[in-house]
């Protein structure tokens, strides 16, 4: 098992955001975490990547309140629960965050180089970049363009490309489809499937159920900070209550 979340709970002040959540992702799988707005999906990813731990220890970040973080997060058999985000990323657990966030003043190429900052081997960096350009040829075409001027879809490709430059073993992607046109979403989801086919394990948080369920191996449904179901896409959709109440379909 590559990722194992055990009894994860997160509370900001008195608000219990995640309540005793346990799940796992096997090596090589593409697993999604879906559920209604505000269910706590991004919070789970932020906990996995060490960002909540960082907020708690440094009193920085988006939390302006007391944080309670309990449970355990194991990556490749070892606990990463008490590690800082950069230590977790160095182990190959990489988060591609919500709202894309490229370094907007930098070019596409500079963003990709920044993503590979931990790797000192130039030949390896070049290999990684060529792989990113194979998946996203548009980035190659726009290599010298300032990232802030890219379209939304291109910025999302760049955000994923930058994460891939870290050579993740597990890539967590938070809502990549937000604000994109249907055709762009479809293309992006195909690339995510290809990334998984290349051997990179993927944990995908999404609200776009129909496209997500076309590419995943399994999914978990989160609602009000608790896991309420898991299974293959077609199994979850076959349940009328789940489909109507939690998947909005
Ligand atoms: N730093 C914080 N302080 C207080 N409450 C927070 C904080 N971060 C998140 N929350 C609350 O936790 C809940 C879950 O938020 P989260 O962003 O994880 O949900 P989500 O499932 O990703 O939702 P969406 O799909 O809308 O992005 C929300 O009610 C949110 O307001």
Model confidence over 112-123: pLDDT tens digits? 999 998 889 999
Q: How far apart are CA 80 and CA 93, in angstroms?
A: 10
Residue-wise pLDDT tens digits, 134-172? 999 999 999 999 999 999 999 999 999 999 999 999 999
Q: Give residue 40 CA to ligand 1 midpoint distance, Å.
A: 5
Mean pLDDT of the chain: 94
What average pLDDT does the segment 195-205 reach?
Answer: 98
Q: Which residues of 47-70 are buried (b: 16+ CB within 10 A; e: fewer)?
A: bbbbbbbbbbeeeeeebeeebebe
Q: How far apart are CA 89 and CA 100, in angstroms?
A: 17
Higher pLDDT, 81 or 101: 81
14 lines ligand 1 (CB under 6 A): no
Q: Is pLDDT above 90 for 70?
A: yes
Asked whether 66 and 13 are in contact (CB, 8 A), the reply is yes
What CATH number belongs to 3-246?
A: 3.40.50.300
Q: Is pLDDT above 90 for 14?
A: no
CA dihedral (114, 119, 125, 128) positive or negative = negative
Pocket test for ligand 1, best of 37, 42, 173 (most atoms within 8 A of CB): 42
Residue-wise pLDDT tens digits, 48-65? 999 999 988 887 766 667
42 lines ligand 1 (CB under 6 A): yes
Beta-bridge partners for 45 = none
Query: Number of H helices and number of E strands within the chain?
Result: 11, 10
Q: How far apart are CA 24 and CA 247, in angstroms?
A: 21
Ligand 1 atom 25 nearest Cα: 37
């Amino acid at each position: 098992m590559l990722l194992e979340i055990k009894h994860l709970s997160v509370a900001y002040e008195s608000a219990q955001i995640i309540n005793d959540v346990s799940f796992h992702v096997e090596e090589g799988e593409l697993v999604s975490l879906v559920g209604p707005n505000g269910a706590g999906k991004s919070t789970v990813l932020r906990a996995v990547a060490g960002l909540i731990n960082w907020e708690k220890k440094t009193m920085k970040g988006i939390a302006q309140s007391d944080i309670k973080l309990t449970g355990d997060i194991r990556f490749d058999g070892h606990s990463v629960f008490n590690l800082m985000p950069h230590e977790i990323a160095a182990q190959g657990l990489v988060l591609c965050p919500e709202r894309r966030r490229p370094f907007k003043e930098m070019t596409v190429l500079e963003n990709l180089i920044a993503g590979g900052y931990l790797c000192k081997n130039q030949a390896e960096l070049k290999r990684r970049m060529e792989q990113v350009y194979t998946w996203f040829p548009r980035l190659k075409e726009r290599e010298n363009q300032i990232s802030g001027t890219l379209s939304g879809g291109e910025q999302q490709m760049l955000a994923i490309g930058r994460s891939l430059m870290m050579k993740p073993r597990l890539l967590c992607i938070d809502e990549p489809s937000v604000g994109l046109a249907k055709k762009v979403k479809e293309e992006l989801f195909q690339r995510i499937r290809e990334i998984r086919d290349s051997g990179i394990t993927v944990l995908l948080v999404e609200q776009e159920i129909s496209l997500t369920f076309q590419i995943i191996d399994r999914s978990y449904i989160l609602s009000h900070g608790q896991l309420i179901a898991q299974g293959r896409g077609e199994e979850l959709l076959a349940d009328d209550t789940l489909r109507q109440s939690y998947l909005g379909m």
